[in-house]
Amino acid sequence: MLPEPDKIAAFLETIADMPCRLSIKTRIGRRSSAEIQALMPIFNSFPLEELIIHPRLGVQLYKGVVDLDVFADCLTSSTNPVTYNGDICTLEDFNRLAERFPKIQKWMIGRGALTDPFLPGAIKGISIAGDPLQVIKSFHDDLYNKYSQRLSGDSHLLGRMKAVWFYLAGSFPNHNKLLKKIQKTKKIASYTRLIDDLFHGENPDAKHR
């Protein structure tokens, strides 16, 4: 809908009276960042809980870089609280962005937290007690057990866990090799054997970075 500000305005008019708080998450356009310039006055005409901006174009998918200059312009023109989203993958990324945008109070992290579940804690200065590998193991086991209660069939469960590992593997050395091994598993038994080895250190890929 991004290239169609009139449709977005009409949609927001329709839902504006709903008895709930409204937040909007947006990219800066589908094909051009000129699109967000047309949208900002519309967003400003509604009292939003927050406006979350991922400063990429739709056509970029996840490629290229975030456009921080366009984000800065949106921040200046927004009358609603703005949340920053996009490419916070390390503490250094966060610190660099926080320095450039001291006005921002809220940050949204996607892939960075899926890859390194300790990242939000590191940003907030919360240190995690214990061996990081065991913390990840316990997170994994919890997720695995809950998914196995909810999902029916090995392939469904394996599919979900592989989607988790698509990002989480990035937290381990030799992550490409590890991910390939996980993606190759076809049976729950071979999956659990591989993961057991990983977490019990019998796998060369086990050391959490």
Ligand X SMILES: Cc1cc2nc3c(=O)[nH]c(=O)nc-3n(C[C@H](O)[C@H](O)[C@H](O)COP(=O)(O)O)c2cc1C
Sites of contact with ligand X (CB under 6 A): 25, 54, 85-88, 109-112
Q: How far is the CB of 144 from ligand X (least distance, A)?
A: 18
CA distance 52 to 42: 15
Q: How far is the CB of 208 from ligand X (least distance, A)?
A: 21
29 or 86: CB nearest ligand X? 86
111 or 162: CB nearest ligand X? 111
Q: 36: how many CB neighbours lie within 10 A of its CB?
A: 24
Helix boundaries (H) for 17-131: 34-44, 68-77, 91-100, 111-115, 119-124
45 or 60: CB nearest ligand X? 60
97 or 178: CB nearest ligand X? 97
Q: How far is the CB of 155 from ligand X (least distance, A)?
A: 19
Burial class for 164, CB neighbours closer than 10 Å (0-12, 13-18, 19+): middle
Nearest residue to ligand X, using CB? 110
- Report residue 133 as tokens: 């590998």
Q: How far is the CB of 166 from ligand X (least distance, A)?
A: 8
112 or 117: CB nearest ligand X? 112
CA distance 185 to 76: 50
Cα three-residue angle 57-61-65, rounded to 5 degrees: 65
Beta strands in the chain (DSSP E): 23-29, 50-57, 82-85, 106-108
Q: How far is the CB of 88 from ligand X (least distance, A)?
A: 6
